[in-house]
């Protein structure tokens, strides 16, 4: 079953602009994670935000979490062509098993 | 750095063949996972394992089996490959159970079944 749904499915921006991607989920969670996938490669972990946190920063990344709306957003500031990739949110659906449920992803293209 | 490796980047097999996809991690992680990734469907969990010789079904286990004889190695087996198993297969590992553990992914195996 699909837990995370990303929006938009695709995003195209110019280098230097900010990119915002949204994720909605259905069940309670312990934490929410964001991953990045370059074309044809495996996923790389970007950031984890716990259910009792509202905002978290890591370099040019800013993640927010609104548990009342069951949604999260990933903001990439001052985007670069190298940020071109697909971005996925993943939740644990309230489980402590280590299993994650991934959304379908947002494909970001940053034009130089 | 954690390293997760997969035996092949690209694989072409024929319908009915038995296919083995191997995954090895070098950080003594307890948990290992197999996903398949298809356009428009995201990542779907096939099987996972908490420990040696332990396995649990994920969301789409039909047509697949797994083997974990050693802690570092988790194999995905397609007993009789079919064209609808053409996909990108991703292996991941994580340290122990717990909700705060990030998953480390291998580079993926793109399997084509003719």
B5 CB neighbour count, 10 Å cutoff = 12
CB contact under 8 A, B48 and A99: yes
Tokens found for residue A49: 């935000």
Distance CA B3, CA B15 (A): 32
CB contact under 8 A, B102 and A88: no
pLDDT of residue A5: 78
pLDDT of residue B65: 97
pLDDT of residue A50: 93
Q: Please give the residue of chain A at the shortest CA–CA distance from B48.
A: A99
Residues B7-51 have pLDDT tens digits of: 999 999 999 999 999 999 998 899 999 999 998 888 999 999 998
Instruction: Give the number of beta-carbon pairs within 8 Å between A and B.
Output: 67
pLDDT of residue A94: 74
Of A88, A98, A103, the CB nearest to B101: A98
CB contact under 8 A, B42 and A2: yes
Query: What percent of chain B has pLDDT above 90?
Result: 81
Supply φ then ψ for residue A70, to 5 degrees: 50, 55
pLDDT of residue A14: 97
pLDDT of A53 strictly over 60: yes
Q: Does B84 touch chain A (CB under 8 A)?
A: no
Residues A55-65 have pLDDT tens digits of: 999 999 999 99
Distance CA B24, CA B73 (A): 5
pLDDT of B100 strictly over 90: no
Q: Does B54 touch chain A (CB under 8 A)?
A: no
CB contact under 8 A, B42 and A104: yes
| Contact residues on chain B for A96, CB-CB shorter than 8 A | 97-99
Closest CA to A99 of A107, A91, A89: A91
Distance CA A3, CA A15 (A): 31
Q: Which of A90-104, B14-28, B98-112 has the highest mean pLDDT?
A: B14-28
pLDDT of residue A95: 74
A15 burial level (CB within 10 Å; 0-12, 13-18, 19+): middle
B58 CB neighbour count, 10 Å cutoff = 18
pLDDT of A2 strictly over 50: no
Pairing between strand B31-38 and B87-94? antiparallel
């Amino acid at each position: 079953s699909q837990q995370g749904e990303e929006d938009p499915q695709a995003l195209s921006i110019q280098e230097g602009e900010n990119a915002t991607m949204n994720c909605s989920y259905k069940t309670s969670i312990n934490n929410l994670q964001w991953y990045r996938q370059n074309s044809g490669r495996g996923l790389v972990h970007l950031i984890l935000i716990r259910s009792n946190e509202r905002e978290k920063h890591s370099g040019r990344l800013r993640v927010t979490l609104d548990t009342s709306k069951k949604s999260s957003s990933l903001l990439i500031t001052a985007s670069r062509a190298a940020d071109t990739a697909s971005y996925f949110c993943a939740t644990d659906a309230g489980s402590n098993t280590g299993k994650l449920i991934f959304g379908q992803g947002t494909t970001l293209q940053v034009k130089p | 750095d954690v390293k997760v490796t997969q035996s092949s980047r690209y694989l072409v097999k024929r319908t009915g063949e038995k296919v083995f996809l191997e995954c090895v991690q070098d950080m003594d992680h307890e948990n290992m996972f197999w996903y398949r990734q298809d356009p428009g469907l995201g990542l779907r969990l096939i099987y996972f394992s908490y420990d040696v010789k332990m396995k649990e079904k994920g969301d789409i286990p039909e047509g697949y089996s797994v083997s974990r004889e050693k802690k570092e190695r988790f194999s995905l087996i397609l007993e009789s490959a079919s064209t609808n198993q053409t996909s990108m297969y991703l292996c991941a590992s994580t340290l122990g159970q717990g909700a705060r553990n990030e998953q480390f992914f291998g580079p993926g195996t793109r399997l084509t079944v003719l």
